[in-house]
Amino acid sequence: MQDQLDHELERIDKLPKLGLLWVEYSAYALGVNIAPRKRSSKYCRLTRILVLIVNLSIIYSLVAFIMENYMISFETYVEAVLLTFQLSVGVVKMFHFQNKVESCSQLVFSTETGEVLKSLDLFQLDLPRKKELLSSVSLILLNNWMIIDRQVMFFFKIVCMPVLYYCVRPYFQYIFDCYIKDKDTCEMTLTYPAIVPYLQLGNYEFPSYVIRFFLLQSGPLWCFFAVFGFNSLFVVLTRYESGLIKVLRFLVQNSTSDILVPKDQRVKYLQCCVRLFARISSHHNQIENLFKYIILVQCSVSSILICMLLYKISTVLEVGWVWMGMIMVYFVTIALEITLYNVSAQKVESQSELLFHDWYNCSWYNESKEFKFMIKMMLLFSRRTFVLSVGGFTSLSHKFLVQVFRLSANFFLLLRNMNNK
């Protein structure tokens, strides 16, 4: 029957997972191959060099614009500051995940193939209703993958909005200037405020205006790959971990069931549950080590970005409602970005808390001494819930999410008061 469990995991592995597929493509576009079993890493180094050169060029152009307009007003260059932070964080993420690409690819492989659940020896026991047990475990995993796909693709649509705005804005601006306002002379404006350096050689410019234009056009795409790819990877891994804990909870809840587990098989059955708990704990530690410090960077930058967006919204309210739609979409994207980290981590923590109660609430008091001993040990180990830390300072949770928004609001008030003075 163990072969049937492996066969079921292989069947789930072959099912289309749209969310994970887009995560892999986004990371691959930045030169980070997190799924080496599916595609080659031959050109990843060249891709990373190209991405680094382009991103540094765009960041330099944005910084040049900021320095040029530094003495005018903060409203003039706030958009350039936002994009500089986003591109810089994207570069940091690219190097971070490339540095830990082996750990990252191992986690993706384990998540997609169900490696944690293989060779548990659970279905080698003499259980009367193995098929029912297998179908229940399979249903939990399938439903979990459906939730992962929905969440990841929802985030995909949200992140696409500001990217599409920046990509199509110059074209709509050109049409408006040339055909609606009926200007005598009109030209294509740059995608966002930036000063791209160039050489003037007679009547020619190097690089040409077209090259400079499309160089800036690529900026939102690099932001998309970094924001969507690596943040959604966290969602996939943590949501899958919460699904594994759900499977373990289901097994523990039925550990004393007379229908599913005969009394003479319960010790061995519980040993399989303990083995699964150890594997989930190891899986959790790998996720913790992969995201521990990059989450600290992300939360710090997100606080700054939310603060600046609040300031930008306040200035738009004073000037007009023309840009309100774009800024609100940008604000929702950044807010959702930090929210996904905390909500996904909170889901894992909540499931682990429920697991502690499941260990205690099974009818262990009517079982053998060995069974009771294992329950006592698991109560001891499960008392420490699975949490994901922010650089070792605090843990991701709903409470921390509120603190981030509160900190951003305080910075916004400070910035507004300083600017008014």
* Domain edges within the chain: 4-198+207-420
Residue of higher predicted confidence among 112 and 70 = 112
Structure tokens, 364: 């262990």
**For residue 3, what pLDDT is reported?**
61
User: Among 2-16, 136-150, 151-165, 224-238, which is the least confidently predicted range?
Assistant: 2-16
Residue 323 has pLDDT above 70, yes or no: no
Model-level pTM?
Answer: 0.89
Residue 201 has φ and ψ, to the nearest 5°, of -115, 90
pLDDT tens-digit profile of 168-210? 888 877 787 777 776 666 777 777 788 888 888 777 878 888 8
**For residue 1, what pLDDT is reported?**
46
Cβ contacts of 164 within 8 Å, gap of 6 or more = none
Cβ contacts of 337 within 8 Å, gap of 6 or more = 227, 231, 298, 302
- Cα-based distances in Å from 294 to 4, 95, 215, 338, 388: 39, 11, 27, 12, 12
pLDDT tens-digit profile of 330-366? 788 888 888 889 999 999 999 999 999 999 888 888 8
Residue 318 has pLDDT above 70, yes or no: no
Residue of higher predicted confidence among 223 and 6 = 223
Query: Across residues 95-103, what is the average pLDDT?
Result: 91
Mean pLDDT of the chain: 85
User: Among 77-81, 110-114, 220-224, 395-399, which is the least confidently predicted range?
Assistant: 77-81
Residue 322 has pLDDT above 60, yes or no: no
